[in-house]
């Protein structure tokens, strides 16, 4: 049901039958390495808030440098594994919150497939049907993000616009950078883009492959799978030079050549 593996020089407890995050950590020694690298590069001395932290595949490598990390996960059993991973690695700078993040605080019913299920736990979200439901606490980013938050990651399977509704103060007063998962042709993606532009951010496409050619463990990857995100940077901040800016009428990127930074991870771009 749960097994232990190592990745990034860290110990991870993983759901044995997880089809995505856990499988990549066990079989290849990494998951979305470019994403944790980018976060570490722009974090500085601030705080990283990870919304939809799963078992810590992004949060733990970032936390290893000593920065404060706030990791939030709505699935109760995943949140428990996340907390265990924090403890077995001695990462006392990581705060784990078992909660969903949304437009307002309260309670909600959240899909919670059992931890021994053969599923992609990373795809669990409010949109899932046909799974057991559990009551979960809902908080807002404005309630959990401290004033020294430097970067926020949001990966909540289409619920990103609702998360941003509850982040007005964070967007306008704290003004961190953001990495937000998107989906092609989904209304949620356009809503996210419009929210950031309305708050004075410039936007860039950021593709994070699940597995890189420079991975720690050899073996045949499943092809080029990963998440396309929006990287949002306040207009008053230094802007990235190796990312394709999101056009006024967003055109979904389709070629590796549009992500030249991936050359540092072994991709031919």
CB neighbours of 68 closer than 8 A, spacing ≥ 6? 47, 48, 93, 94, 95, 146
Largest CA distance in the chain: 48
pLDDT tens track for 223-252: 679 999 999 999 999 999 999 999 988 889
pLDDT of residue 130: 84
Q: Confidence band (pLDDT; 50, 70, 90) for 123?
A: confident
Q: Which of 88, 66, 91 is nearest to 14 (CA)?
A: 88
pLDDT in tens, 81-108: 999 999 999 999 999 999 999 999 999 9
The pair of three-digit structure tokens given for residue 257, joined into one six-digit string: 């050549």
E strands along 106-264, which residues? 106-111, 133-139, 149-154, 177-181, 201-209, 226-234
CA 4 from centre of chain: 21
CA geometry: angle 143, 149, 154, nearest 5 deg: 75
Q: List Cβ neighbours of 255 (8 Å cut-off, separation of 6 or more).
A: none
Domain ranges of the chain: 2-265
Distance CA 55, CA 143 (A): 22
Q: What is the CATH number of domain 2-265?
A: 3.40.50.150
pLDDT the model gives residue 66: 95
The C-alpha angle with vertex 33 and arms to 28 and 38, in degrees rounded to 5, equals 175
List, for residues 42-55, the tens digit of each pLDDT value: 999 999 999 999 99
Tens of pLDDT, residue by residue over 136-147, are 999 999 999 999
How far is residue 19 CA from its own chain's centroid?
Answer: 17
Q: Among the listed ranges 125-129, 180-184, 258-262, which one has the minimum average pLDDT value?
A: 125-129
């Amino acid at each position: 049901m749960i097994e232990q593996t190592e990745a990034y020089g860290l110990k991870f407890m993983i759901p044995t039958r997880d089809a995505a995050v856990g499988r990549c950590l066990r079989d290849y020694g990494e998951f979305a390495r470019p994403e944790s690298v980018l976060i570490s590069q722009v974090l500085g001395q601030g705080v990283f808030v990870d919304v939809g932290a799963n078992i810590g595949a992004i949060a733990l490598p970032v936390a290893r440098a000593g920065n404060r990390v706030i990791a939030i996960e709505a699935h109760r059993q995943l949140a428990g594994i996340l907390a265990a991973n924090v403890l077995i690695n001695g990462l006392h700078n990581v705060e784990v919150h078992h909660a969903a993040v949304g437009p307002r605080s309260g309670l909600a019913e959240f899909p919670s497939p059992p931890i021994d299920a053969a599923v992609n736990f990373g795809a669990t979200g409010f949109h899932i049907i046909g799974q057991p439901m559990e009551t979960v606490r809902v908080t807002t980013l404005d309630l959990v993000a401290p004033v020294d938050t430097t970067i926020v990651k949001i990966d909540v399977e289409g619920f990103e616009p609702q998360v941003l509704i509850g982040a007005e103060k964070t967007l306008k007063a704290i003004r961190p950078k953001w990495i937000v998962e998107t989906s092609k042709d989904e209304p949620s993606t356009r809503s996210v883009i419009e929210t950031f532009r309305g708050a004075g951010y410039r936007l860039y496409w950021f593709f994070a492959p699940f597995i890189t050619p420079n991975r720690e463990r050899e073996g045949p990857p499943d092809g080029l799978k990963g998440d396309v995100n929006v990287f949002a940077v306040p207009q008053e901040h230094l802007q990235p030079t190796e990312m394709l800016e999101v056009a006024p009428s967003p055109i979904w990127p389709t070629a590796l050549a549009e992500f030249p930074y991936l050359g540092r991870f072994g991709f031919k771009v």
